[in-house]
Structure 1
Amino acid sequence: MTFKTLITAAATSALLAGGAFAESHGGKNPMVGGAEMFADKTIVENASQSADHTTLVAAVKAAGLVETLSGEGPFTVFAPTNAAFEKLPEGTVEDLLKPENKEQLTKILTCHVVAADAMSDAIRGMIDDDGGEHPVPTVGGCTLQATYDGDAIMIEDEQGNVANVTVADVDQSNGVVHVIDTVLMPAM
């Protein structure tokens, strides 16, 4: 089993311009950033309610990705928290949010998005199938590496940074979100 990737240039261009949910969260909507996340809302609708994702939402808006991530999907989004963005060197976020850096910001953000609906059990299964590490191609052209230890899933970016999934399986109407504690960066 592998993550699905976008296979047409049109789909890639557009991106750049359930069941396990009830088991994972005891049948209740999970809380993220002090807000209840609803499985019948889109990734953008839910993220906009999370106090822990205001930087991510601002970045998605600045990159012009709101419409894309509100679309049908399915998407798996590894969603960095505000604290994850704060770990970047001082001034990085402010620079990325400038209009002249939209292309770089879009690249970084789309390296957090996979064109599939992958719950944590499926991710662990893919890791097992691949002998302990699974390559995760993103819509931004990055290849992340997924591993796990017990129930904890880790995602390594192309620069060797490792993000821990802190909240898994946040079901959305157009995919799933896994909250992470580190911003994933493409090879530069």
Structure 2
Amino acid sequence: MKTFTTIVALVAMLSAANAATIADLAGSTPDLSILVQAVTAANFLDPLMDPNARLTVFAPNDAAFEQLLAVLDVPAEELLADTETLATVLQYHVVPAVAFSTDLTDGQVIPTLLGATLTVTINDDGVFITPTGGPMAQVVAADIAADNGVVHIIDTVLLPAAAGPVEETMAAPTME
């Protein structure tokens, strides 16, 4: 019986050691380094680390953030310093339910932690997520399972209408 108890304890320890929350997965994914910086700057780690949470995160890759920084013509440090806007934008990327790609349907409208919605488009070119009034993002890597949900990596930062200065800058006409 003692051997059985030891084996059960070892299995439990190994399972705990291999547990990966959404925050853990993002932190170990090189192409999400700017997202991790944003999450840290906005003090948004807690929901992504909560082992009891059940979330879906549409995670913009580094190229998506670099594109946003280029459009805004600001360095990453300036974007990361606006923690209030960052928190709003990050909440727009999180759905308070687990949704693997097989759970998504064309035309589906899904609520985010921000309270706003995203629309799913599925066609021959792939799966796309569209914010209200914003450019759509393509899912470039889907169904990355975590202990507290799932991550889908996207190629565009989703901007809610309530994003403030970032949204205003994105919508402003450019002089060329």
Shorter-chain TM band: 0.7 to 0.9
Structure 1: gaps of 5 or more residues: 1-38
State the 1:96 CA deviation: 2.5
1:73 matched to 2:53? The reply is yes
Q: Distance in 2 between matches of 1:66 and 1:105?
A: 12
Distance 2:125 2:20 in 1: 26
TM-score (ref. length: structure 1):
0.71
How many percent identity over aligned positions?
41
SS across alignment from 1:144: strand
Q: Distance in 2 between matches of 1:159 and 1:86?
A: 21
Matched positions, count: 142
Greater RCO, CA 8 A, separation 6+: 1
Larger radius of gyration: 2
- Closer, same or farther in 2 for the Cα pair 1:149/1:178, shift >3 Å? same
RMSD: 1.8
Aligned: 1:146 with 2:120? yes
Runs of 4 or more, structure 1, over 6 Å off, are none
User: Which of the residues 101, 107, 118 maps onto 2:88?
Assistant: 107
Is 1:164 paired with 2:138?
Answer: yes
SS in 1 for 2:19: coil
Aligned position for 2:148: 174
Q: Deviations over 1:75-113 (max 9, x none)?
A: 000000000001112216432311xx2111100001000
- Provide the C-alpha distance between the structure 2 equivalents of 1:180 and 1:80, rounded to a whole number of angstroms: 5
Residues 41 and 151 (structure 1), Cα distance of their counterparts in 2 relative to 1, 3 Å cut: farther
